[in-house]
Structures are given as structure tokens and as C-alpha cells.
Structure 1
């Protein structure tokens, strides 16, 4: 299976629809929860697209969108840091960081390295020194967090972004 990776710094109508389709498929078991429903995701996506340094990587197998990762730059004043459960060490937010907001891959492409390729392609063009993401530590009985740890991420804090979301583990690693 050959997956072509496409980068976007602005969303075309087609890329937006492809992303929404993949999201709905990836999150299908959770769509009944208010934080995961497509409408809530769309609201977050519309906000994220306007934030500094937005970039999306969509993976396609032929014409079929199969996975995605996107994020944006967060600096020391970004609300991303203010929602952390524990105080951050001095200087922790001194330089801009890439915050990956979402990663998702459809079931048939899981376990094929597609998620890692999409992730690495997103990081390859970034100028930030560090990258952070959040994960539900209970997702897949911890399997998702353990996967991110094999990619070099380490937990450093926690956050509950909204009242409807679960408490998420905040993870970080160098970009390169």
C-alpha cells in the first residue's frame, strides 16, 4: 500500500472534507460523546486553521484519504500552556513549539507505519525545536500513549482542554 502525503497550510474545500471524512471514520466509536462529535471537531478545526503556523498532512491511498495529522505553533502566551494541570518549569515555554492537535488513521492502514509517516512528514518541514501532543492515556488501554513513547515522546504534564473532554497526558519531544 502506497500512501501519498499532501501538505496544506490552508484548507481547500476538498482537503477540509477529506479531513472531516477521515475524522468521522477514525472516531466513529466515540462520535456519540459531545467532545468527539463531528460538530465539536469542526469548531476546533475552524479555530486551529486560523492559528499561527497551521499545517495539515493528509495521506491518500489512490484517491482515498486514509489519515491525517495537523498542528500549529504555540508560543509562551498561548492558552495551550495555561490549561496545564501542573505549573511548568521556568523557561519551559521560552521558545515556540509545534502542538500537534490531531492524528488519525483509518483502521485498514493502522499498523502499517502510515501514522508515523504522516507524523514525521509534518515534523520534517517545521522550524520549532520541540513538538507536543496530548493523548488520552486510557485510549486503547494505554496502547496509543505507548506508541507515542516509541516515537520519542515523554509525558510531562496533563490537561483537560474542555469540561467534556477526558484528562489528557501532555507529551513532548524534540522535533528532530
Structure 2
């Protein structure tokens, strides 16, 4: 299977709809939860797409979009850092990082390396030195966190739970 990686720095109606369709399929078991419903995802997507350094990567297998990853640059004053459970180390936010906001792959392509290719495609053109993400440590019985660890991420903080989200583990790794 050959998956083509396509980069987007803006959302067109076509790329937005393709992403929403794949998201709805990938997250189908969770769509009844407020934080995972398609409408909440779409609102977050629009917010992140309007922020500096937004980039979306779609993986295409023939005519089908099979997966995605997107993120944006976060600097010292970004609200992203204000959500951390523990104080950040001195100087941690001195240089911007890429916040990987979401990654997902449709079921038939899971376990084939497509998620890693999409992830690496997103990181390939980035100028930031580090990438950070938040993961539910219970997702997939801990499997999702272990995948990120195998990609070089390490846990360094947490985001406390909210009324619509469980506690998340915050992970970081160098981009290169």
C-alpha cells in the first residue's frame, strides 16, 4: 500500500470535509462524548487553523483519505501552557514548539505504518525544535501512549481533567 502525504497550511472546504469525514470514522466509538463529537472537533479545528503555524497533513491511498495529523506553533504566551498541571521548567517555552493537536488513521490502514508516515510528514517541514502532544493514558488500554513512546515521545506533564475531558498526559520529543 502506497500512501501519499499531502500538506495543507489552510483549510479549504474540500480538505475540511475530508478531515471531518475521516475523524468521524476514526472516533466513531467516542462521538457520543461531548469532547469527541464532530461539532466540538470542527470548532477546535477552525480555531487551530486560524492560529500561527497551522499545518494539516492528509494521507491519501488512491482517491481515499486514510488518515490525518495537524498542529500549530505555540509560543511562550499561548494558553496551551496555562493548562499544565505542574509548573514548566525554566526556559521551556523560550522557543516555540509544534503542538500536535490530533492524529488519526482509518481502521483498514492501522498497524501498517501509515500513522507514523503521516506523523513524520507533519514534522518534516517544521522549523520548531520540539513537538508536544496530549494523550489520554487510557486510550486503547495504554497502547496509544506506548506508540508515542516508541516514536520518541516522553511524558513531562499532565493536563488536569475538565468537565468534558479526562486527565491527559503531555508528551514531548525533538522534531529532528
Taking structure 1 as the reference length, the TM-score comes to: 0.98
> What residue number does 2:68 align with?
68
Instruction: Tell me, in whole angstroms, the C-alpha distance in 1 between the residues paired with 2:78 and 2:162.
Output: 16
> What residue number does 2:48 align with?
48
> What residue number does 1:104 align with?
104
- Give the CA deviation at 1:32: 0.3
Q: Is the 8 A contact 1:57 1:121 kept in 2?
A: yes
> What 5-or-longer segments of structure 2 have no aligned partner?
none
1:12 aligns with 2:16: no
Instruction: Tell me, in whole angstroms, the C-alpha distance in 1 between the residues paired with 2:8 and 2:160.
Output: 28
CA RMSD of aligned residues (A): 0.8
Q: Is the 8 A contact 1:83 1:161 kept in 2?
A: no
Instruction: Tell me, in whole angstroms, the C-alpha distance in 2 between the residues paired with 1:162 and 1:100.
Output: 20
Task: Return structure 1 stretches of 4+ with deviation > 4 angstroms.
Answer: none
| Structure 1 residues 129 and 60: CA distance shift in structure 2, 3 A | same
- Give the CA deviation at 1:163: 2.5
> What residue number does 1:171 align with?
171
Instruction: Tell me, in whole angstroms, the C-alpha distance in 1 between the residues paired with 2:137 and 2:161.
Output: 14
Query: Tell me, what secondary structure is at the counterpart of 2:59?
Result: strand
- Give the CA deviation at 1:160: 3.8
| Structure 1 residues 50 and 161: CA distance shift in structure 2, 3 A | farther
Taking structure 2 as the reference length, the TM-score comes to: 0.98
> What 5-or-longer segments of structure 1 have no aligned partner?
none
